Structure 1
Amino acid sequence: MSDKTISAHVAETGENAFAVNINVSGHLIKGDEPLDAGGGDLGPAPYDLLTAALGECTAMTVRWYANQHQWPLDKVEVRLTHHKEGVQDIFKKEVILHGAGLTEEQRARLIAIAAKCPVHKTITSSPIIETSAG
């Protein structure tokens, strides 16, 4: 949840038609398409990573908010799905809050906060993507 500039480099590996190495913020991830899409299933596909990023950001935002208020949140889990209906992308996000000491009001507030994570906001806004030749 930082305002820093993030840089990523993605390059084909040659292992199959779609396999890529992704280097982002010093982390190396392999990406690929599933077998039924012509890839080798060597790593997550682009929408896999986008869905995971939404879940990761949601969990981190809920944790940050609970910590700021010193609420007794033991663990947060996020289960997500993504699919397309025509041209419309549908993300479903279930937030599971573990913490017997949480009040109903705290739980409701944490669920509301879950919809305000930065990745959620980015996906639901109109981001600007500038593409150029290199």
Structure 2
Amino acid sequence: MARATASIGTTNYATSITTGHHRLTADEGPELGGKDTGPAPYDLLIAALGACTVITLRMYAERKKWPVEAVHADVHFVRDGDSQRIDRTLRIEGALDDEQRKRMADIAERTPVTLTLKRGLEIRTTLA
């Protein structure tokens, strides 16, 4: 399934990420000692959720042959003291009726990344 490698040297906190044949850079903002050369880890997390959401909804609309012109997901990680949540707002362009829009929102609640985040998952760490 999915696999990524992350590496960091001595430059705070620029991180090189490789996944498949793609290369990304992650970093922290200046407020945390980084240089903001790429998205921060939580930005990458919500970006993955947003991407999975719009891809899944596009696939669903195509399968149903619904007239969806574009799907947008605004995803926001919110931390309030010890409480955390993700707020996701969908904007669907196209001539859909209310029932179709409601169905798209229902499908968004069951995308693969959404379900993974809602269920949680075991993380095993080993030293090489």
Tell me the TM-score normalized by structure 2.
0.95
Query: Within 5 Å, which residues of 2 pair with 1:1-134?
Result: 5-14=1-10, 16-100=11-95, 102-134=96-128
Matched residues, percent identical? 35
- Return the alpha-carbon distance in structure 2 between the equivalents of residues 81 and 13 of structure 1: 29
Give unmatched runs, 5+ long, in structure 1: none
Count of residue correspondences = 128
Following the alignment from structure 2 to structure 1, what is the Cα–Cα distance between the partners of residues 98 and 9?
Answer: 50
Q: Are the equivalent residues in 2 in contact too, given 1:13–1:21 (CA < 8 A)?
A: no
Which piece of structure 1 moves more, 5-14 or 56-65? 5-14
Q: Could you report, residue by residue, the CA deviation over 1:32-68 in whole angstroms, capped at 9, with x for unpaired residues?
A: 0000011111100000000111110100111111111
Matched to 2:65, the amino acid is Q
Amino acid at match of 1:118: P
Gaps in structure 2 of 5+ consecutive residues: none
The ranges of structure 1 where at least 4 consecutive aligned residues each deviate by more than 2 angstroms after the TM superposition are none
TM value normalised by structure 1 = 0.91
Task: For residue 126 of structure 1, report the CA deviation from its aligned partner.
Answer: 2.3
